[in-house]
């Protein structure tokens, strides 16, 4: 199974991706996690991405396309994957299409999380507080100012992916403001239909 979770930051993509990993034995490919790991490890890519990420802007298509291309070639991704945070631009979506068709692979579904942007800010503030209370590191870009920039980047670059995937017939929508279990249930139903279609 190969899926894309599409939606603004804080929509719940990461939480649902983890559940899909457990349920279907696929891997979660989060470009945000990969980039944060590169920053923490101080790699060349990490050095190039750090300031851009801290400012809530998008890292270049060239960098993220490169890391996804390498990652989907790894053996654990053969059984399937859920992409979380990629693609984020039309250029990334086109590059993904090219990568998959070259390998003779297809996407099963693109699941879009519909959300209320104003409530997302409350969610992200809570995510930062919860991380702090649990003694975990707080993401530098999880503060209201940078978050506003991330939402803006979503609106100007990533929102265009909905019509892109609508055209290809892959787009399905879930209510990202519903309780976590309900969102999971909606996704499970979508996938049951997509796989039996």
- Residues that are catalytic: 13, 88, 127, 139, 150
Min separation Cβ 9 and ligand AMP, Å: 4
Tally the residues of the chain. 197
95-128 core/surface letters (b: 16 or more CB in 10 A; e: else)? bbeeeeeeeeeebbbbbbbebeeeebeebbeebb
Instruction: Tell me which residue has its CB nearest to ligand AMP.
Output: 32
- Which parts of this chain interact with ligand AMP (CB under 6 A)? 9, 31-32, 35, 52-53, 56-59, 64, 85-86, 88, 92, 141, 150
Provide the minimum distance between the beta carbon of 53 and ligand AMP in the complex, in angstroms, as a whole number: 4
Nearer to ligand AMP (CB atom), residue 65 or residue 109 = 65
Integer angstrom CA distances of residue 11 from 2, 44, 144: 20, 30, 15
Residue among 17 and 26 whose Cβ is closer to ligand AMP: 17
Looking at beta carbons only, is 26 or 59 nearer to ligand AMP? Answer: 59
The residue with tokens 């309780």 is 179
The least CB distance from residue 94 to ligand AMP, in Å, is: 13
- Nearest-angstrom CA–CA distance, 15 and 119: 17
């Amino acid at each position: 199974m190969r899926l894309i979770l599409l939606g603004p930051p804080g929509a719940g993509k990461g939480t649902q991706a983890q559940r899909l990993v457990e349920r279907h034995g696929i891997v979660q490919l989060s470009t945000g996690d990969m980039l944060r790991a590169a920053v923490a490890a101080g790699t060349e890519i990490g050095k190039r991405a750090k300031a851009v990420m801290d400012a809530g802007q998008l890292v270049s298509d060239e960098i993220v396309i490169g890391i996804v291309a390498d990652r989907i070639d790894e053996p654990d991704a053969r059984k399937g994957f859920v992409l979380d945070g990629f693609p984020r631009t039309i250029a990334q979506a086109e590059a993904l299409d090219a990568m998959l068709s070259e390998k003779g692979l297809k996407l099963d579904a693109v699941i879009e999380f519909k959300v209320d942007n104003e409530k997302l800010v409350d969610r992200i503030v809570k995510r930062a507080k919860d991380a702090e209370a649990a003694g975990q590191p707080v993401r530098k870009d999880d503060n209201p100012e940078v978050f506003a920039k991330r939402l803006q980047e979503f609106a100007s670059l990533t929102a265009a992916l909905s019509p892109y995937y609508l055209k290809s017939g892959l787009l399905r929508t879930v209510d990202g403001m519903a309780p976590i279990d309900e969102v999971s249930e909606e996704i499970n139903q979508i996938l049951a239909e997509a796989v039996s279609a």
